[in-house]
Structure 1
Amino acid sequence: MSELTKKRPEFRNINAFKDLTTYRLPVAGWVSILHRVSGALMFLLLPLIVWMFDTSVSSEISHGTFTAAFDAGIGFVPGWFVKLVTLAIIWAYLHHLIAGLRHLYMDMTHSVTKEFGKSSAIFTLALSIGLTVVLGAKLFGLY
């Protein structure tokens, strides 16, 4: 090995306080972790999602209650917080859907190269965040 090339670190026995702070996770790793986080978030917020759907389609009166929740809030929860939680649900759904389609495509086509993993992970993050920003702007009344 020449003196100009740096020796890559070997992680055999990982010290959580020393090594994990310096370890750089690749983009595909972040997408994988966020895929799990978004699935867990949707599962935990499922009662709210069901309530939102039920009140939005039951009747005109319940639809009024639904829209008022975004303006006046629900009980002691202010309206901006309801919008923020709804934005989190939107992101979780979009990211989980796009990352899941990415995983399915990679499984079907056996596209498991490092380059494709990185480029598809960047595409997944950009698309899910971009769509979340667009829908969040609509949610917060910017257009």
Structure 2
Amino acid sequence: MRAPPESAPKFLNLSQIRFPIGAIASIGHRISGVLLLITLPFLALALDRSLRGEAEFEALRDLVSAPGRALLLIVVVWAASHHVLAGLRHLLMDLGVGSRLDQARTSAWAALVAAAVIALAVAARWLS
């Protein structure tokens, strides 16, 4: 019986893997899509309720103004903005726009940063 070569990995330590920025943006795109899928029924109900009248809109606003719920709303805003921006990035790269490595890295950073800025801007506006 032969022993495995010394270079063979013995275990996979996920905390030591350094993902490239493009992979992080792509994984974020998938995570944001799942979050949007999960929250879509609740968002549709919230939209329906908010359009029933001013009193219903104010009641809904009071409901989501609690700190924990406001944080959830900000996460949903991040998910929507990141999913749109990363999706546009993927579509443009499929068309050959920005598919060079340096451009792909820049667009990945841009999508990640822009989504975070949008979420923080909504948080500042919502919580003020």
Q: Is the TM-score greater than 0.5?
A: yes
Which protein, 1 or 2, shows the higher relative CO under an 8 Å CA cutoff with sep ≥ 6? 2
What code does the residue aligned with 1:109 have? G
Distance in 2 between residues matched to 1:92 and 1:29, nearest whole Å: 17
2:94 match? 107
Aligned positions, number: 122
2:11 match? 15
What code does the residue aligned with 2:11 have? N
Runs of 4+ in 1 over 3 A off after TM superposition: 11-14
The 8 Å contact of residues 64 and 73 in structure 2, kept in 1 or not, is answered as no
- 1:38-57 Cα offsets, whole Å, 9 max, x none, are 00001111122112211111
The 8 Å contact of residues 98 and 107 in structure 2, kept in 1 or not, is answered as no
Structure 2, unaligned runs of 5 or more: 1-6
1:120 match? 107
Give the 5 Å matches for 1:13-52.
15-16=11-12, 18=13, 20-52=14-46
% identical aligned pairs: 26
SS of structure 2 residue aligned to 1:139: helix
Would you tell me which structure has more helix in proportion to its own residues? 2
What is the CA RMSD across the aligned residues, in angstroms? 1.9
1:95 match? 82
Structure 1, unaligned runs of 5 or more: 1-10, 72-78
Distance in 1 between residues matched to 2:61 and 2:97, nearest whole Å: 45
The 8 Å contact of residues 74 and 123 in structure 2, kept in 1 or not, is answered as yes
- 1:91-120 Cα offsets, whole Å, 9 max, x none, are 000000000000011111254222111111
